[in-house]
Each structure stands twice: as structure tokens, then as C-alpha cells.
């Protein structure tokens, strides 16, 4: 059996308590684990197929080999999703497997996917690969005709074989994903209202594309225990949500409840025990509470609302990011509401770039791609959920014009023939296109607003968003160079002018992102081991990107444990985690604790009240820039 993680922010190794890499490693008995490294897998794939791919581009366009090589060196946004699904196909004995050398056969492959929005993209990847194969095929056609006329006998060359391989992999993978006998989906969620909305949307999208969700796993369900005002309220809220899941999503599906352990289950032994406990029971298992020393929590820090936090003030661009399920949308919405209310003269925009939007759920308001104020929110706050598909649709005309220009510039009449319909254009767009639009929207928004608060996708894709400007600028530069080189054949025209413009705004954005006075990344996490390990990696990556990360918001803290043994033990464990988190940023970031609320705050009023109960555990003397 193979366990593989396709989430670019891997935490499979953290959960298993072993170090995993892109090479399979035996973790227990016959179980082998690996964390997919998509950029490296793509490099490997490209190294293997570079020559025939380059041949197709060289034969089918006016580009010479140097241009082709420069294009092949560019990184492709969203390659994670494309490669992820092909790698899985390869590992499970799909058509492409003969490509892999020395691969083992696995009876079962368990895939730990990225959070919702990007998983849907991953599953759509076969269509993208099929579209790429079609284009390559059209580019190859002319060459094929000439070759066959010269040789009299048509014989497939390496390029033909590559095109056939891609088309075959796309077809094979799409078929196997939809085959219930081979592929099943287990949807994992939390007993929280917001997760319910996301689950409904996600499961609906999966079923619409022909993928069957067989089981729903509700994780971190509070077990029964003696009375406690905090736990009782949480249990009541969780029951309400679980009932709703059963009613709205449970038909024809197994519902499995996983108990909330005092210590997050980590490592083989703990996970195996959890597996046994949930495999046998009817679902609702009553786990034993582990005995943990109840230490009374020493309370430090002071209450502070977001607008008064030094790490937030003065910034014009505030990114909120972290692991999925830690409450970053809630924290971002609360901060934006308070920052706007504190100074009516400032125009504030709250913008979500997460394809699995949850701002509407958190604010309990209809939110669209058009920035608008929300009910009970300050008038100077506008809220918007970026709709990448719509943004793409709106720019369709521009895109088609640009595509025509590229096609005539590169001599690839085939491209425009294929990409005539919008649906094909969308298929052609790299999966990371919404991140690119996300970045560009941030630039656009900056001219209209004094403060932009960005609710990003979970870690891996938030990082991709921030790395996007570098990749996008490389693209514009290579394309410009190529266009200018062939200016005797085609006028550089509108496309060149746009590329120059894009290149300039990307340069501005790069400078802005690296300027700690303007741009700050607020890391949201929970006081538990697995989120902390992901936070450590996130902070390291942010440092490498020269981004300022001056604050960590630790969400869902049990701040007033009272007498309940469970709450007290939870609180003591959380305190230890907060100390460990503080050490991660070497005392250079503000530690903010946001209280656990049951039910979680929804709507402007509740968020406002919740944010007034944030605590500042520690603020550094100097902001890390």
C-alpha cells in the first residue's frame, strides 16, 4: 500500500511522525509513504521528453531551437495539479507506467490531497493534459505530412509517441478516476458550520464531474464527558452540524466520526489506534480521555483588538495565511472589520483569493466578484471573492486577440484553430491561473484602497501566489524577446505592449511584496503539533521570499479553562505549543491568541465581538522586516 500526499504544503510526514520525501519510503509493514514534489517530478518528466517536445514546437512554429529551449525552461504555474494526477496514475499502474523505471506495484494507493479548491483542480487535470496533447498533435500535423511524403512510408517518431502517451494518460486517468470499482473518495471535514458549506460545494462539484464520494469523515468530534460550560456548548454546536451533514450529505454515504483527542494523534501507534477505534464502531465512538496532568494555565498577555496590534498597523497589504481549517478566513474577516471600523477615513478591501471561498459563509452575506460593503459592517469596508473563471471570461476577448497574435507570430495556425471556443481556452489555461489573477487583482485594488486584507488559499497555494510574480515576469520577458526577434515577420503589436505593461506592474508588485512597511503576512495557526510543523516551514519560506511575517495568530485557544479536566488539560497543552511557536520566530513576531468560540463567530457583529477578545501574548520590540 502506498500513501501519497499531493498537497504542496506536505504534512503527511508530520502526521505519520516520519520524514518523507519524493522517493517512496517504507513507513510500517507493507505501507510505503511519499510526498510528491511536483516541480521536481515535472523536471524529471521534462528531462525525459524534452527532445521530442522541443521537436514538436520547433517543427510546428517559427521558433528556432534557442527560443524553444528558453520556453521549456520556464516554470509553469499550477504544474502541481497537472503532475500530481499523472504521477498517481503512474504509481498505480496506469498507461504511463511503462515510463517509470523500477516502480513497484501497489494494490492500494491512498492520496492525501490539497485543500478543496486545488483538489478540484487536480481532478480536472486530465482534461488539461488532453488539451495539451491536442495542440501538440495539431502542431505536429504539418511536419507529419511533409515527413510522410518524403519517406513515402509514414512512421511514428518520438514526437508522435509523446503525443500519443499524453493523450493516452489523460484518457486513462479520467476513466479510472470515474470508475467506482477503482477509485473512491472520502471527504474529510470538521463539525463546524463553515466546513459544512465547503463540503456541500466540494462534494457537489465532485459528483457533477462524475466522481463518487462514498464516505464522509467528520474529524475532531468532542467526545462525551462530565459537564462543562465550554465543552457542552461546543458539543451542542457540533451535534447540530453533524445532524445537518447527515441530513444534507449523508444519503447513500457512510458517515464516520473521529473523536477529538486531547493530544493530536501523531505517529504510527496513535494513528493505528484511531483507525481501529473508528473502523469497528457504528461511527460515534466514545474515546477514552487520556490522563494528562491538569496544570492551571498561567495567564499572561493582555486583551487587544486587531486594529491596535502594532504588527498590523501602517500596513497597506495584509495577507492572512496558514494550514487549511485553522480559521484564517475568520481571522482575516475579523481583522478587516476592526481595521475599517477604527478609521472611517480609510478605504479597506477584504479580498479572498482562495478558490474554495468561505468569506460569504463567515460574513453570512452574499459576496461576489464585485467589491461591496456587507450588512452590519462599516461602510468603508468592501468585500470581494475573486472569481478566477469570471475574470478569465471577461478577458476572453483580449486573450483571443493575444492568442491570435502569438499564433501568427509563432506560425502556429493550429493553435487558433483549436482554441477557438472559450471552453477550450479555459482548458488550456494553466491551473494556477487564478493565483496569477489573484496577484494582479491585488495590484489593481491597491490604487483604490488604503488597506487590502487578503484571505489566501491554504499554505502551499498561498506560497505559490507569492512566488507567482517571479514566474510571471520570466514568462513576459521570454515572450517579449521572442516577439522582438521576429518583428520582421510580425509586428510586435498589442501583445508586446501588454507584455511590457504586465512586466512593469509585476516589478512594482515584487517591490511592494518585499517592503515590510507596506506588506505583512499574518500566519494563522492552531496550538497543535501538526499545524505548528507546517507553520515552521511556512515561516522559513516567507523568510526566503523576503516577506515580513510579524505576527502569528493562534486560533481556537481555550483561554478560560475553568474547572473542567478536559479544558484544563487542553489549555496546558496549548500553552506549551504557543511557547514552541514563539521560539519559531525567535521572539521576533507578535503572538496573538484568539479564543475558541462555539459556535464560531459568523456575521459582522459576532466577528467584531470575537476580535475584541483576542489577546496579545507578546509583542516584539522591533518588527521583523
Q: Strands 213-221 and 254-259: what pairing? A: parallel
Least distance between Zn ion and beta carbon 457 (Å): 33
Is 262:289 a contact under the CB 8 Å cutoff?
yes
The smaller minimum CB distance to Zn ion, of residues 230 and 589, is found at: 230
Smallest distance from the beta carbon of 477 to Zn ion, in angstroms? 58
Question: Left if phi > 0, otherwise alpha if psi is -120 to 50, otherwise beta: which for 197?
Answer: alpha
Task: Determine the Cα–Cα distance for residues 515 and 33; give it in Å rounded to an integer.
Answer: 40
Q: Which is nearer to Zn ion, 31 or 598 (CB)?
A: 598
Considering beta carbons, is residue 354 or 577 the nearer one to Zn ion? Answer: 577
Question: What DSSP string describes 52-105?
Answer: HHHHHHHHHSS--HHHHHHHHTS--TTHHHHHHHHHHHHHTT-GGGGGSSSPPP
Which of residues 85 and 231 has its CB atom nearest to Zn ion in the complex? 231
Q: Cβ 560 to Zn ion, closest distance in Å?
A: 10
Contact between residue 405 and residue 493 where contact means Cβ atoms under 8 Å apart: yes
The torsion angles phi and psi of 184, rounded to 5 degrees, stand at: -130, 155
Greatest alpha-carbon pair distance for the chain in Å reads 89
Which residues lie near Zn ion (CB under 5 A)? 228, 230-231, 564, 566-567
Nearer CB in complex with Zn ion: 38/567? 567
CA–CA gap between residue 573 and residue 609 (Å, rounded): 26
Residue whose CB is less far from Zn ion, 349 or 567: 567
Q: Of 279, 222, 274, 228, which is closest to residue 256 (Cα–Cα)?
A: 279
Taking the complex as a whole, how short is the minimal distance between the CB of residue 234 and Zn ion, in angstroms? 8
Cα 451 from Cα 43, distance rounded (Å): 39
Q: What minimum distance in Å lies between the beta carbon of 291 and Zn ion?
A: 15
Q: How far apart are CA 42 and CA 118, in angstroms?
A: 18
Please, which residue, 9 or 596, has the CB nearer to Zn ion? Answer: 596
Q: State the burial class of residue 473 (Cβ atoms within 10 Å of its Cβ: 0-12, 13-18, 19+).
A: middle
- Candidates 245, 397, 302, 190; CA nearest to 617 is 302
Residue 439 or residue 557: which is nearer to Zn ion going by CB? Answer: 557
Nearest approach in angstroms of CB 558 to Zn ion is 8
Closest distance to Zn ion from the beta carbon of 222 (Å): 9
Question: Grid coordinates 478569465 are at which residue?
Answer: 392
Q: Which is nearer to Zn ion, 231 or 513 (CB)?
A: 231
Q: Which helix (H) or strand (E) holds 418?
A: helix 413-418
At its nearest, how many Å lie between Zn ion and the CB of residue 36?
Answer: 39
Sheet holding 254-259, edge to edge: 185-189, 213-221, 254-259
CB of 264 to Zn ion, least distance (A): 17
Amino acid at each position: 500500500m502506498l500513501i501519497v500526499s499531493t498537497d504542496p504544503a506536505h504534512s503527511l510526514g508530520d502526521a505519520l511522525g516520519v520524514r518523507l520525501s519524493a522517493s517512496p519510503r517504507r513507513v510500517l509493514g507493507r505501507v510505503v509513504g511519499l510526498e510528491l514534489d511536483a516541480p521536481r517530478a515535472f523536471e524529471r518528466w521534462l528531462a525525459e521528453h524534452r527532445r521530442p517536445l522541443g521537436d514538436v514546437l520547433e517543427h510546428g512554429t517559427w521558433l528556432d531551437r534557442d527560443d524553444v529551449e528558453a520556453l521549456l525552461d520556464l516554470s509553469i504555474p499550477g504544474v502541481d495539479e497537472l503532475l500530481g494526477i499523472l504521477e498517481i496514475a503512474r504509481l498505480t499502474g496506469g498507461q504511463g507506467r511503462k515510463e517509470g523505471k523500477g516502480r513497484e506495484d501497489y494494490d492500494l494507493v491512498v492520496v492525501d490531497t490539497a485543500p478543496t479548491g486545488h483538489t478540484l483542480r487536480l481532478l480536472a487535470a486530465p482534461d488539461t493534459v488532453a488539451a495539451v496533447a491536442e495542440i501538440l498533435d495539431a502542431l505536429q500535423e504539418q511536419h507529419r505530412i511533409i515527413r510522410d511524403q518524403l519517406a513515402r512510408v509514414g512512421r511514428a517518431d518520438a514526437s508522435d509517441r509523446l503525443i500519443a502517451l499524453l493523450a493516452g494518460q489523460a484518457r486513462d486517468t479520467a476513466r479510472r478516476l470515474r470508475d467506482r470499482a477503482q477509485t473512491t473518495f472520502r471527504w474529510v471535514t470538521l463539525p463546524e458550520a463553515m466546513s459544512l458549506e465547503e463540503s456541500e460545494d466540494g462534494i457537489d462539484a465532485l459528483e457533477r464531474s462524475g466522481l463518487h464520494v462514498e464516505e464522509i469523515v467528520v474529524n475532531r468530534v468532542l467526545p462525551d464527558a462530565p459537564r462543562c460550560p465550554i465543552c457542552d456548548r461546543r458539543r451542542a454546536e457540533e451535534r447540530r452540524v453533524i445532524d445537518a451533514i447527515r441530513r444534507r450529505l449523508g444519503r447513500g454515504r457512510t458517515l464516520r466520526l473521529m473523536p477529538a483527542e486531547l493530544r493530536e494523534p501523531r505517529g504510527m501507534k496513535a494513528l493505528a489506534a484511531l483507525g481501529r477505534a473508528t473502523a469497528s464502531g457504528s461511527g460515534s465512538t466514545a474515546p477514552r480521555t487520556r490522563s494528562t496532568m491538569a496544570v492551571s494555565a498561567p495567564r499572561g498577555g493582555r486583551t487587544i483588538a486587531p486594529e491596535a496590534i502594532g504588527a498590523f498597523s501602517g500596513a497597506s497589504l495584509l495577507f492572512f495565511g496558514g494550514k487549511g481549517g485553522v480559521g484564517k478566513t475568520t481571522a482575516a474577516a475579523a481583522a478587516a472589520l476592526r481595521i475599517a471600523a477604527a478609521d472611517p477615513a480609510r478605504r479597506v478591501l477584504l479580498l479572498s483569493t482562495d478558490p474554495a471561498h468561505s468569506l460569504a459563509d463567515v460574513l453570512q452575506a452574499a459576496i461576489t466578484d464585485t467589491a461591496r460593503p456587507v450588512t452590519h459592517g462599516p461602510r468603508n469596508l468592501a468585500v470581494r471573492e475573486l472569481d478566477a473563471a469570471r475574470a478569465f471570461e471577461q478577458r476572453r476577448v483580449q486573450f483571443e486577440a493575444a492568442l491570435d497574435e502569438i499564433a501568427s507570430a509563432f506560425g502556429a495556425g493550429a493553435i487558433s484553430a483549436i482554441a477557438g471556443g472559450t471552453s477550450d481556452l479555459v482548458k488550456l489555461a494553466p491551473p494556477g491561473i487564478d493565483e496569477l489573477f489573484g496577484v494582479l487583482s491585488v495590484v489593481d485594488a491597491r490604487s483604490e484602497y488604503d488597506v487590502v486584507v487578503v484571505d489566501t488559499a491554504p499554505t502551499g497555494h498561498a506560497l505559490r501566489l507569492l512566488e507567482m510574480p517571479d514566474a510571471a515576469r520570466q514568462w513576459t520577458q521570454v515572450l517579449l524577446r521572442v516577439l522582438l526577434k521576429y518583428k520582421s515577420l510580425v509586428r510586435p503589436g498589442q501583445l508586446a505592449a501588454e507584455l511590457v505593461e504586465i512586466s512593469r506592474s509585476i516589478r512594482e508588485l515584487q517591490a511592494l511584496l518585499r517592503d515590510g512597511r507596506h506588506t505583512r503576512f499574518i500566519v494563522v495557526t492552531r496550538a497543535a503539533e501538526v499545524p505548528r510543523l507546517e507553520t515552521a516551514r511556512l515561516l522559513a519560506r516567507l523568510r526566503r521570499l523576503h516577506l515580513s511575517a510579524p505576527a502569528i495568530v493562534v486560533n481556537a485557544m481555550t483561554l478560560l479553562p475553568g474547572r473542567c479536566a478536559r479544558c484544563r488539560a487542553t489549555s496546558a497543552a496549548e500553552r506549551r505549543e504557543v511557547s514552541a511557536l514563539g521560539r519559531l520566530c525567535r521572539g521576533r513576531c507578535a503572538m496573538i491568541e484568539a479564543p475558541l468560540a462555539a459556535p464560531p463567530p459568523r456575521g459582522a457583529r459576532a466577528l467584531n465581538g470575537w476580535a475584541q477578545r483576542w489577546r496579545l501574548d507578546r509583542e516584539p520590540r522591533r518588527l521583523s522586516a
